Structure 1
Amino acid sequence: MTALRVLTDIARPGRRAPALMVLLPGALQTPETLVEEGIVAAVRGRGLALDLVLVDPGLQSIGEATDGSVGARLEALLGPARQDYRATWLAGVSLGGFMALAHAARYPARVDGMFLLAPYPGNRLLTGAIEAAGGPAAWAETHAVNNSDAAAGQADDEENAWRWLAQNGRAGGLLEIHLALASEDRFAAGQRLMAGTLPPERVDWVAGGHDWPSWRRLWNNFLDRNDARFRGDD
Structure 2
Amino acid sequence: MHPGIGPGRMLGSPRPENAMRLIPAVALLASLLAIAGCIPVRDADRPIATHLVRSEQAATRLVVVLPGRADDLDALRGSGMAESIQGAWPDADVLLAELTLSYYMQGRAPERLHSEVIAPARERGAYREVWLVGASMGGMGVLLYDRLHPGEMDGLVLLAPYLGDRGLLRDIGDAGGIARWDAGPKQDVNADTWQREIWRHIQGWSRNPQQADRVWLAYGDRDRLRKAMPLLIPALPKDQVLVREGGHAWTVWSPAIGEVLRRADAKRGR
Same fold (TM over 0.5): yes
- Single out whichever of 154-163 and 171-180 deviates more from structure 2: 154-163
RMSD: 2.6
Which residue of the partner structure matches residue 118 of structure 1?
160
Cα shift at 1:135: 1.1
Which residue of the partner structure matches residue 15 of structure 2?
none
- Single out whichever of 32-41 and 111-120 deviates more from structure 2: 32-41
Matched, 1:36 2:78: yes
CA separation in 2, counterparts of 1:202 and 1:174?
A: 13
* Amino acid aligned to 2:156: M
CA deviation map 1:130-153 (0-9, x unaligned): 1111112222x342313xx36xx7
Which residue of the partner structure matches residue 70 of structure 1?
109
Selected match of 2:253 from 198, 215, 219: 215
Selected match of 1:91 from 133, 152, 157: 133
Unaligned runs of 5+ residues in structure 2 are 1-44
Which residue of the partner structure matches residue 159 of structure 1?
196
Which residue of the partner structure matches residue 144 of structure 1?
185
State the identity as a percent: 29
Which residue of the partner structure matches residue 184 of structure 1?
222
* Amino acid aligned to 1:180: A
TM-score (norm 1): 0.83
CA separation in 2, counterparts of 1:12 and 1:229?
A: 25
Describe the shift of the 1:228–1:81 C-alpha distance in structure 2 as closer, same or farther (beyond 3 A).
farther
- Single out whichever of 213-222 and 77-86 deviates more from structure 2: 77-86
Q: Secondary structure of the residue that 1:11 maps to in structure 2?
A: coil
Q: Secondary structure of the residue that 1:115 maps to in structure 2?
A: strand
TM-score (norm 2): 0.73
Matched, 1:9 2:48: no
CA deviation map 1:177-233 (0-9, x unaligned): 000121221111212211121010111111222123322332232233245689x9x
Describe the shift of the 1:49–1:131 C-alpha distance in structure 2 as closer, same or farther (beyond 3 A).
same
CA separation in 2, counterparts of 1:92 and 1:27?
A: 11
Selected match of 1:52 from 74, 94, 103: 94
Selected match of 1:132 from 174, 177, 180: 174
CA separation in 2, counterparts of 1:99 and 1:223?
A: 20
Cα shift at 1:121: 1.3
Whether contact under 8 Å (2:84, 2:255) holds in the other structure is: no
Q: Secondary structure of the residue that 2:184 maps to in structure 1?
A: coil
Structure 1 residue ranges, 4+ long, deviating more than 4 angstroms after superposition:
227-230
Whether contact under 8 Å (1:79, 1:110) holds in the other structure is: no
Selected match of 2:62 from 1, 7, 20: 20
